[in-house]
Chains A and B, each alone.
Chain A
Amino acid sequence: SQQGEEDPQALSIQEGENATMNCSYKTSINNLQWYRQNSGRGLVHLILIRSNEREKHSGRLRVTLDTSKKSSSLLITASRAADTASYFCATELIQGAQKLVFGQGTRLTINP
Chain B
Amino acid sequence: NAGVTQTPKFQVLKTGQSMTLQCAQDMNHEYMSWYRQDPGMGLRLIHYSVGAGITDQGEVPNGYNVSRSTTEDFPLRLLSAAPSQTSVYFCASSLYLGLAGKNEQFFGPGTRLTVL
Contacts and interface: CB of A to CB of B under 8 A. Distances in A.
Contacts of B97: 98
A58 to B, nearest CB: 12
A31 interface: yes
A102 to B, nearest CB: 4
Contacts, number: 74
Contact of A102 (B40, B42, B94, B99): B42
Contacts of B59: 101
A87 B99 CA distance: 26
Q: Is the interface of B mostly helix, strand, loop or mixed?
A: mixed
Interface size class of A (residues with CB under 8 A): 20 to 34
A98 B103 contact: yes
Nearest to B44: A102
A51 to B, nearest CB: 10
Interface stretch (B12-20, B70-78, B105-113): B105-113
Contacts of B106: 45
Interface of B: 4, 31, 33, 35, 40-45, 48, 50, 56, 58-59, 90, 92, 94, 96-110
